[in-house]
């Protein structure tokens, strides 16, 4: 079983709470992916310390020292090859990737985004959702394609927007759901249970969307 686990790299730029959720999930021996590498484009990313403490190979490839995106990505690719990586999870990795890099990893490169795509691509999703007055917000795990925050959707979780919400309180509830759906998405991908047809992702067990009930906290 152990030898069949898919060797997975997590790419981060900062705090790394999604990275942590993936690492925790992969501690279970039956989980079909093992976290074999954490890579950051920022040497000072807080998440690197947690990965190191947990005995996971870590590396920083500082994008600032490269002349262009592709040179930067070629350095990452060398490390990914060295560690025999089969799947990449972007987890708060805040660099746009080139079509070249994405092409190397077709079907094996996934991302977590803090909004219900295709709504609120890009940054500052929680403030924009509040400004628009939406009542439902959430997060999306999806395959990466060259267009930013597009690509077949693997899983989504919805979060009810409260009258009292600020971008920070909403972000915290969405983040808790990210930590649920991202490991679940990786589990399905690594187990070879996902099939992509156009924009649609089907799971072998026919379960469709992951169970993610709307949670409306009782009024205080």
Active site residues: 113
> How far, in Å, CA of 167 to CA of 43, rounded?
28
Q: Residue 185 Cβ, how far from ligand GAR at the closest point, in Å?
A: 12
Q: Is 112 an interacting residue with respect to ligand GAR (CB under 6 A)?
A: yes
Q: How many other C-beta atoms lie within 10 A of the C-beta of residue 144? A: 24
18 binds ligand GAR (CB under 6 A): yes
15 binds ligand GAR per the rule CB under 6 A? yes
CA dist 174 and 162 (Å) reads 12
Nearer to ligand GAR, 82 or 96 (CB): 96
Nearer to ligand GAR, 15 or 202 (CB): 15
Stretch that binds ligand GAR, among 32-40, 97-105, 110-118, 189-197 (CB under 6 A): 110-118
CB of 209 to ligand GAR, least distance (A): 18
Give the nearer residue to ligand GAR in terms of CB position, either 9 or 112.
112
Residue in the block written with tokens 């077949």: 152
Nearest to 145 by CA among 176, 185, 105: 105
Nearer to ligand GAR, 99 or 192 (CB): 99
Say which DSSP state 98 is in: P
Q: Please, what is the minimum distance in Å from the beta carbon of residue 120 to ligand GAR?
A: 10
- Shortest Cβ contact with ligand GAR: which residue? 92
| C-alpha distance across the termini of the chain, in Å | 48
CA 108 to CA 85: how far, in whole Å?
10
* Candidate ranges 34-42, 106-114, 184-192, 204-212; the one touching ligand GAR (CB under 6 A): 106-114
Please, what sign has the CA dihedral across residues 89, 116, 15, 33? Answer: negative
* Contact of 21 with 177, CB cutoff 8 Å: no
Half-sphere exposure of 84 (CA within 13 A, CB side): 7
**Nearest one of 107, 56, 65 to 86, comparing CA atoms:** 107
Q: How far lies 6's CA from each of 71, 137, 190, in Å?
A: 26, 32, 6
Contact between 138 and ligand GAR per CB under 6 A: no
Indicate which single residue of 5, 10, 14, 142 sits in contact with ligand GAR (rule: CB under 6 A): 14
CB of residue 198 to ligand GAR, shortest distance in Å: 23
115 or 189: whose CB is closer to ligand GAR? Answer: 115
Binding site for ligand GAR (CB under 6 A): 12, 14-18, 91-92, 112-114, 175, 178
């Amino acid at each position: 079983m152990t030898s069949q686990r898919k060797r997975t790299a997590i790419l981060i730029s900062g705090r790394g709470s999604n990275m942590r959720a993936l690492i925790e999930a992969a501690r279970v021996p039956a989980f079909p992916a093992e976290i074999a590498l954490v890579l950051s484009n920022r040497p000072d990313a807080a998440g690197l310390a947690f990965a190191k403490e947990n005995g996971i190979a870590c590396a920083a490839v500082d994008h600032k020292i490269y002349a262009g995106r592709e040179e930067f990505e070629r350095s990452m690719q060398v490390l990914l090859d060295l560690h025999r990586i089969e799947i990449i999870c972007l987890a708060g990795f805040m660099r746009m990737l080139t079509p070249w890099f994405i092409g190397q990893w077709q079907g094996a490169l996934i991302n977590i985004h803090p909004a219900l795509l295709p709504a609120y691509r890009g940054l500052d999703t929680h403030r924009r959702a509040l400004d628009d007055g939406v009542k439902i917000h959430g997060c999306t795990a999806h395959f990466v394609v060259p267009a930013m925050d597009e690509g077949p959707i693997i899983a989504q979780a919805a979060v009810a927007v409260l009258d009292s919400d600020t971008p920070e309180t909403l972000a915290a509830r969405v983040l808790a759901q990210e930590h649920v759906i991202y490991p679940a998405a990786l589990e399905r991908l690594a187990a070879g249970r996902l099939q992509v047809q156009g924009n649609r992702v089907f799971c072998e067990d026919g379960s469709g969307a992951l169970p993610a009930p709307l949670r409306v906290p009782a009024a205080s």
